[in-house]
Amino acid sequence: MNTPINATANANLFSRLFDNLDDPARLAIETADGKRISYGDLIGRSGQIANLLVARGVKIGDRVAVQVEKSVQNLILYLAVVRAGAIYLPLNTAYTLNELTYFITDAEPSLVVCDPAKADGIRAIAQKVNAKVETLDASGNGSLTDAADREKSEFTTVQRANDDLAAILYTSGTTGRSKGAMLSHDNLASNSLTLVDYWRFTDKDVLIHALPIYHTHGLFVASNVTLFARASMIFLPKLDPEQIIKLMPRATALMGVPTFYTRLLRSPNLTKEATSHMRLFVSGSAPLLADTHREWSARTGHAVLERYGMTETNMNTSNPYDGERVPGAVGFPLPGVSARVVDPETGKPLKADEIGMIEVKGPNVFKGYWRMPEKTKSEFRDDGFFITGDLGKIDAKGYVHIVGRGKDLVISGGFNVYPKEIESEIDAIDGVVESAVIGVPHADFGEGVTAVVVPQKGATLDEAAILRALDGRLAKFKMPKRVLFEDDLPRNTMGKVQKNILRDKYKDLYKK
């Protein structure tokens, strides 16, 4: 199915999604309140919005920045932007006006679409780059849809080539300023088609879609895979564990972040019977604890399928559909994707089970960082491999394991300490929910290995108990100098632990 598009065809992602539609009446989306949207509806409505974009002066290659709540109209806006030959720029709904100033002035969109409540503040920012502003609220209403209602639904999809840009997604920017990852039509289409095959999606599938759509996982993986397969999705505004469980008898697949699975496991209604109609549970965007993986299997009879992707690359690896899904591993490189582990300093390839920097290459890998040619150049090897910034290993069976971000590596007393190894030991201690290991400035060691632990409610854990449990299980240089306790770990909206916040909070811990 994943074949290169021929040179004469339109490589526009929209064309690749919809040009060969056999049944426009086929159901594409069902909303939480029961509205049903067909594939033909998506084509017609995206045509209206594409016509409006052109009327508002959006030209081929222009950026359209979007910060609105999840709705079907928001998803159709994405399709319309791509269809019109413009570049879709989704922005996290949690970003403040101060943060938005950077993104908008950096990307210089010709149009910004925002929630009506933020319109005044965003207009002031948009004026700096001469961008127009339209509104769209959580119900899918606003000046954008009001104006689109008056446009015709016929629209000739703009001709695009494989390498033309379809989207720019800004990285989360935990260190330094956020970078705009430029993703082409072929980056998105090729990766989605690969996943349709690898995860066995067909037109019989029904996906429970509860992810946000300003991020790779919810927008490109969940939505594009569903549409390419001619499947349908039940479109939920956000994570609601009880609602998801009630929908499972009508659905076949769920894509989520680890938080989805830990929250679902808290419900007594999650049973093998409740999940019996489901065939696939996918997790990504942050590591799934091995204990969560095992508990899910025990409770439901299903093994969660973990995969590994990035804003810059879409999906790189996946545990197999058939075959062992290894807890703590993110599976094999996807077809067409190459992955290797190298020495971070020399770039020399490492042997099986040796920890180093993960590098990837394939049609999924982005075209570079927006207006950052030097940064782009520094992140690619001469042979085309992208340096992910993730530390990991490939085991003897070929499974890829992520042990942490390169910036999370702790160097204590001249020794490299990989946080994941220590976190796995701490997480296995009775009474521990999860942990995060960070490096904190230390006069003697450079960085002191420091563990932040979230205990179970009612657990009688203290620092001494954790250190006793680790004694003899870790080399002395890996042992935490301090164990601290928190009710929760700070996370971003995709569930990733924000270790930079912990490092900042405890930066003076070892000062005398």
The answer for 296, left when phi > 0, alpha when psi is -120 to 50, beta otherwise, is: alpha
pLDDT average, residue stretch 460-481: 92
**pLDDT at 176 (0 to 100):** 56
| Residue 243 tokens, joined | 């609602």
pLDDT average, residue stretch 467-478: 89
* pLDDT > 90 in the chain, percent: 83
| Rg from Cα positions in the chain | 23
CB 29 within 8 A of CB 77: no
pLDDT digits (tens, 9 = 90+) for 190-204: 999 999 999 999 999
Length of the chain, please? 512
**pLDDT at 56 (0 to 100):** 97
Cα-based distances in Å from 114 to 88, 172, 218, 280: 13, 20, 19, 34
**pLDDT at 237 (0 to 100):** 96
Tell me the pLDDT band of 172, cut-offs 50, 70 and 90: low
Q: Decide if pLDDT at 8 tops 70.
A: no
* Cα-based angle 495, 499, 502 (whole degrees, multiple of 5): 120
**pLDDT at 394 (0 to 100):** 98
Number of alpha helices (DSSP H) and beta strands (DSSP E) in the chain: 16, 25
What residue spans of 333-487 are helical by DSSP H?
A: 373-378, 419-427, 463-470
Contacts of 147 (CB under 8 A, 6+ apart): 52, 55, 134
More confident residue, 372 or 413: 372
**pLDDT at 161 (0 to 100):** 98
The model's pTM is 0.86
- Highest mean pLDDT, choosing among 240-254, 275-289, 428-442, 492-506: 240-254
Tell me the pLDDT band of 311, cut-offs 50, 70 and 90: very high
Query: How many beta carbons lie within 10 A of that of residue 509, not counting itself?
Result: 16
Q: Decide if pLDDT at 286 tops 80.
A: no
Q: Decide if pLDDT at 257 tops 70.
A: yes
CB 309 within 8 A of CB 221: yes
* pLDDT > 70 in the chain, percent: 97
**pLDDT at 7 (0 to 100):** 46
Strand order in the sheet with 356-361: 338-342, 356-361, 386-394, 400-405
**pLDDT at 386 (0 to 100):** 98
Q: Decide if pLDDT at 98 tops 90.
A: no
**Measuring CA to CA, which residue among 149, 62, 70 is closest to residue 111?**
62
Instruction: Look over the chain and give the mean of its residue pLDDT values, rounded to a whole number.
Output: 93
**pLDDT at 1 (0 to 100):** 44
| Residue 6 tokens, joined | 């021929």
Strand order in the sheet with 432-442: 432-442, 446-455, 482-485
**pLDDT at 473 (0 to 100):** 87
pLDDT digits (tens, 9 = 90+) for 202-228: 999 999 999 999 999 999 999 999 999
CB 62 within 8 A of CB 87: yes
pLDDT average, residue stretch 263-289: 93
In the block, tokens 């082409």 appear at 184
Dihedral over alpha carbons 465, 470, 472, 478 (to 10 degrees): -130
| Residue 233 tokens, joined | 């999705």
Q: Decide if pLDDT at 444 tops 80.
A: no
Separation CA 215–CA 375 (nearest Å): 22
CB 344 within 8 A of CB 356: yes
Q: Decide if pLDDT at 266 tops 80.
A: yes
| Residue 250 tokens, joined | 């009508």
Separation CA 78–CA 74 (nearest Å): 7
Bridge partners, 412 (sequence order):
415
Q: Decide if pLDDT at 424 tops 80.
A: yes
Return the exposure string of 61-73: e unless at least 16 CB atoms fall within 10 Å of the residue's CB, then b: ebbbbbbbbbbbb
Backbone angles phi, psi at 64, to 5 degrees: -120, 110
More confident residue, 414 or 364: 364
Bridge partners, 429 (sequence order):
none
CB 82 within 8 A of CB 12: yes
